[in-house]
Amino acid sequence: MKTTITDPAQLPRAFEDALNGGDIEGILALFAPGATMRTEAGEVITGDQALRQEISGLAAARGRLANSSRHALVGAGTALLVTDWTLDITAPDGERVARTGTTANVARQGADGCWRFAVLNPLGTA
């Protein structure tokens, strides 16, 4: 998936669509260079390799994501995106597990006018 996001409020939906479609490259294309992500385990990761590993794990667990946007606050080429989410994954024991939370993500607009995630925090304020 090659997606051009010109409205930062569309980033959560694009992430959802790519993950549910198993499109790892599509998800990674939504990240700005040097992006950081806080994993559901609470670890902070940065860099293409770490992000690829985390996203690949979600895809391998057959992650099914549902996002519901709360707020998209935009100013000075930066956006705060607050989104409620539910993620169903297959646990290592084969059982399906549903997790929920609220994100506090930061996106920034690139020189090309496209918006990408700079900071992903699926744990929100937790």
User: Which pLDDT does position 101 carry in this prediction?
Assistant: 94
At residue 101, what is the residue type? Answer: G
Report the chain's terminal Cα–Cα distance, integer Å.
Answer: 31
Query: Tens of pLDDT along 10-39?
Result: 999 999 999 999 999 999 999 999 999 999
Query: Tens of pLDDT along 45-100?
Result: 999 999 999 999 989 888 899 999 999 999 999 999 999 999 999 888 989 999 99
User: Which pLDDT does position 40 carry in this prediction?
Assistant: 86
User: Which pLDDT does position 115 carry in this prediction?
Assistant: 98
Give me the architecture of the 8-120 domain, per CATH.
Answer: Roll (3.10)
User: Which pLDDT does position 2 carry in this prediction?
Assistant: 58
Q: Do residues 51 and 45 touch, judged by C-beta distance below 8 A?
A: yes
Rounded to whole angstroms, how far apart are CA atoms 88 and 102?
15
Give how far Cα 75 sits from Cα of 78, 112, 117, Å. 5, 17, 15
User: Which pLDDT does position 20 carry in this prediction?
Assistant: 96
Q: 1 pLDDT exceeds 60?
A: no
Residue spans per domain, the chain: 8-120
Listed in sequence order, the residues at least 6 apart from 84 whose beta carbon sits closer than 8 Å to its beta carbon are 67, 68, 69, 70, 100, 101, 102, 103
User: Which pLDDT does position 79 carry in this prediction?
Assistant: 98
Question: Quick check: helix, strand or coil at residue 47?
Answer: coil
User: Which pLDDT does position 126 carry in this prediction?
Assistant: 72
